[in-house]
Structure 1
Amino acid sequence: MSPRSGPALTHGAGWLFADLLLVVALVVLGGQWTPGDDGTPGPGEASAPSPSPGTASAGASPTAKPGLDPDSEEFDVRTDAVALRAGKAAAERAVREQVTAHIKDYPGRTAAMVIVWGTAASCGTCPVTDDASRAYAHAVATRLTSIAPGFFPPYDADIIRSYRNTSSDRAAGTATVELFFLRT
């Protein structure tokens, strides 16, 4: 048996591993902070001039960074899902009227991303199903850009997405339109 084996070596290796893990954690945490993140200038940086009155955009928070606002807005659209998927004029008109009425609540804004959650059945008296709900959500989603081209982005499955919502809190024939706006 060599002089450097046994419990003492194992014990020392454990402490070495713990110390290395602590160093890695500190490096990762330290790498997430950059000078100026907390509002103070870093070494060698001059302090930022304070904005003059009236130069900040209305409604913008001085600390908000541009990008997609994580707080979404939503509204419900109700119609006969089977009729809409079949392209019936009355269902199309109902969706158009409801969407037009709801987007008036967001003057001057443009949706950056839209998610449509559908709750539907495959027939008027059938139970709600995943396939029918997804098809209904898709039917509503593909119509949004033509209803309000200045408000909704051009239809793209990555920007306007449709999902099924088969939860019991929504009645069949309900499409929930969830809107995400850009921070300004």
Structure 2
Amino acid sequence: MNPRVSMIALAGWLFADLLLAFSIVVLGTQEPPPKPDEPVAPSPTKTPRQALERRYVEIELSVDPDEARSGSAAAVERLRRAIQDEPGLRGRKAGMVLTFGAQHSGGEGFAHDVNALLPRVDRALFADVATRDFQLLGTGGGALMLNIYLFHDD
């Protein structure tokens, strides 16, 4: 018998030893299971989620950007009339509103000002609504487009 061991045999034993060491490390890092006499914490209850409808209600109107910035009653009333003229919004709750505003100095600021007015326009419809501000291109200052995504009726 040859007293020298081949390199392949040494590599095999080295691989087996490394695999054993790795297994010990992995098993040692795991948390122990709970003891039978310890109460297990109940999983948190899931709150039902509401889903948004895929289709949105689009409202186009014109609002004076200066009135929207100042939060004037005239801007709120103009928005309120446009919302009330839309029959599909009565008694509903909005989940998200994408607001596109056209203003010569940047429409995102105008859209942001309009979104700040929404809770004053209809508190029930726009309670806790998520809003996004966008610039509306290709039209004059004061033009406004609201895309209102509603929650599903259950």
- Band the TM-score falls in, shorter-chain normalisation: 0.5 to 0.7
Out of 64, 78, 87, the position equivalent to 1:94 is: 78
What's the secondary structure of 2:124's corresponding residue? coil
- How far residue 181 of structure 1 moved from its aligned partner, in angstroms, is 1.7
Q: Do the aligned residues in 2 keep the contact of 1:100 with 1:148 (CA within 8 Å)?
A: no
- Whichever residue aligns with residue 135 of structure 2, its letter is R
Q: Do the aligned residues in 1 keep the contact of 2:101 with 2:144 (CA within 8 Å)?
A: yes
Q: Gapped runs of 5+ residues in structure 2?
A: 1-49
User: Normalization by structure 1: what TM-score?
Assistant: 0.49
- Whichever residue aligns with residue 84 of structure 1, its letter is A
Going by fraction, where is strand more abundant, 1 or 2? 2
Alignment of 1:133-144 (within 5 A): 133-144=107-118
- How far residue 138 of structure 1 moved from its aligned partner, in angstroms, is 0.7
Report the identity percentage: 22
1:172 matched to 2:141: yes
Deviation string, structure 1 residues 39-89 (Cα, Å, up to 9, x no partner): xxxxxxxxxxxxxxxxxxxxxxxxxxx722222121013121133213444
Greater C-alpha radius of gyration: 2
The alpha-carbon distance between structure 1 residues 145 and 71, as it changes in their structure 2 partners (threshold 3 A), is same
The alpha-carbon distance between structure 1 residues 137 and 183, as it changes in their structure 2 partners (threshold 3 A), is same
Alignment of 1:35-184 (within 5 A): 67-102=51-86, 104-122=87-105, 132-155=106-129, 159-166=130-137, 168=138, 170-184=139-153
Distance in 1 separating the partners of 2:71 and 2:117: 11
- Whichever residue aligns with residue 150 of structure 1, its letter is A
Deviation string, structure 1 residues 140-165 (Cα, Å, up to 9, x no partner): 1111112111111325xxx1222112
Distance in 2 separating the partners of 1:182 and 1:83: 30
Distance in 1 separating the partners of 2:104 and 2:117: 20
Aligned length in residues: 104
Q: Do the aligned residues in 2 keep the contact of 1:81 with 1:121 (CA within 8 Å)?
A: no
Root-mean-square deviation (CA, aligned residues, Å) is 2.2
